[in-house]
Amino acid sequence: MIQDSVLGPYQEIITARASDKKIRSKSQDGGIVSALLIYALEENIIDGTIVAVESNEALKVEPKVATTKKDILKAAGTKYTMCPNLALLKEATRSYGLEKIAAVGTPCQVMGLRKMQAYPMGARNVTDKIALSIGIYCMENFPYESLRTFVCDKARTAPQKVTKMNISKGKLFINHSDSKDAFAIPLKETHGYEQSGCNYCLDYVAELSDISCGSVGAKDGWSTIIKRTDNGASLVDEAINEGVLEVTDTDEGKFGLEMLKKLSTNKKKKNQKRIDKKLDMGLSIPFAHSSKKKDILENR
C-alpha cells in the first residue's frame, strides 16, 4: 500500500473505461462506476446500491435504491448537485432487505459513510451491510439554485431542455436542446455559487473509499481509477479480467497523473488557508484543524 499525502492510500492507479459501448454512451467519461456496479450486481458481490436520479423537477436529484442493471443505467452520468444518498441506507436495508450495498458518493459522503461505520449510532445493522464504497473526484458541488442560475440566467435555456452537464478543461459545459453547441461557463465564473462547505473541504479524490475514479488525468472518454483497499482492487481486477473494463496506458505526465496530483494539492492548500483564516478569527470548523504547528500542539 502506498501512503500518499496528496492522493491518500492506494495500491495502484490505472486508466480504464467500460468495454460496453452502450454503458459508455449513457455515462460520463469512461462509464466506470456504472460498469463496476453492474458487474458487482451480476456477480452477487453486491445486491444493490443507491443512485442519484432526476426528480420530477428538472436538474433536481433524489436518491433511489437500485437493484437492477436497468436502474443503474437510468441513473448514469454525473450530477453536479448534491444527492443525499446516505439518507437512504437504512431504507435500503430495512425495506429492500439489502445485505451487500455499494455506496457511491463524493469524498465528503465517503467520509460520512466511514464515520457511520466507525460510530454506528442510529445505524446499527446498517453499516455492516456496506460491501463497497466508490468515491468520485470532486472539487466543488453546487446547490440546486446555483444550477438553475447557470442554466436559466447564463445559458438562457430551461432546466427541462438540459441534456448533459460536464466539467472539463476549466469550464462547465451545458448541453441543451436549443442548440447543437454546448454553452460553456469558465469555472472562475462559477466561484461563489458552490456550497459554502466545499470551501473548507480537503479531499479531492475520496481518500477513504475502496475505489476512486474520475476523468481527471485521463484522455477524453477514459477515467483514472485509484485502487485503494483489497476489496476495491480485487473488484477492479476481476472486471478487467472478465472484459468488463478495458485498460490503456496511464499518462504520468502533466496532463495525466501530474494533473490529478496538482488539482488535489491545490484544493488542499487553498482550503487549508481558508480553514486557518477562520480558526485565526476564533471561528470553529467541525473536524478541521489548523495547519499551524503551534495551534495543533495547543489544541491537543
3-state secondary structure of 76: coil
Q: Sign of the C-alpha dihedral, residues 158, 164, 165, 171?
A: negative
Q: Which DSSP category does 192 fall into?
A: T
**Which 263-292 positions form the footprint of ligand SF4 (CB under 6 A)?**
none
**Which 166-195 positions form the footprint of ligand SF4 (CB under 6 A)?**
195
* Complex with ligand SF4: residue 18 or 111, whichever CB lies closer: 111
Q: Does 138 sit near ligand SF4 (CB under 6 A)?
A: yes
* Complex with ligand SF4: residue 48 or 135, whichever CB lies closer: 135
Cβ-Cβ contacts under 8 Å for 275 (sequence gap 6 or more): 200, 202, 285, 288, 289, 290, 291
Segment near ligand SF4 (CB under 6 A); pick from 60-68, 70-78, 135-143, 227-235: 135-143
| Range list of H helices, 18-172 | 21-26, 32-42, 69-74, 89-94, 107-118, 144-148
**Which 86-115 positions form the footprint of ligand SF4 (CB under 6 A)?**
106-108
The least CB distance from residue 136 to ligand SF4, in Å, is: 9
The least CB distance from residue 206 to ligand SF4, in Å, is: 8
The least CB distance from residue 194 to ligand SF4, in Å, is: 7
- Using CA atoms, how far apart are residues 17 and 188, in angstroms rounded to an integer? 29
The least CB distance from residue 204 to ligand SF4, in Å, is: 8
Place of cell 474520475: 214
- Using CA atoms, how far apart are residues 127 and 134, in angstroms rounded to an integer? 15
- Using CA atoms, how far apart are residues 190 and 182, in angstroms rounded to an integer? 16
**Residue 79 phi/psi, 5° resolution?**
-110, 135
Distances (CA, A) of 158 to 73, 161, 192, 194: 24, 5, 22, 20
* Complex with ligand SF4: residue 182 or 198, whichever CB lies closer: 198
With CB under 6 A as the rule, give the number of residues binding ligand SF4.
11
Beta-strand pair 101-105/48-54: parallel
The least CB distance from residue 115 to ligand SF4, in Å, is: 14
The least CB distance from residue 119 to ligand SF4, in Å, is: 20
**Which 113-132 positions form the footprint of ligand SF4 (CB under 6 A)?**
none
**Which 197-216 positions form the footprint of ligand SF4 (CB under 6 A)?**
197-198, 201, 203
The least CB distance from residue 13 to ligand SF4, in Å, is: 19
* Complex with ligand SF4: residue 54 or 140, whichever CB lies closer: 140
Contact between 177 and 163 (Cβ < 8 Å): yes
Contact between 22 and 126 (Cβ < 8 Å): no
Place of cell 496511464: 250
Given candidates 133, 141, 166, 224, which one binds ligand SF4 under the rule CB under 6 A? 141
**Binding interface with ligand SF4 (CB under 6 A):** 106-108, 138, 140-141, 195, 197-198, 201, 203
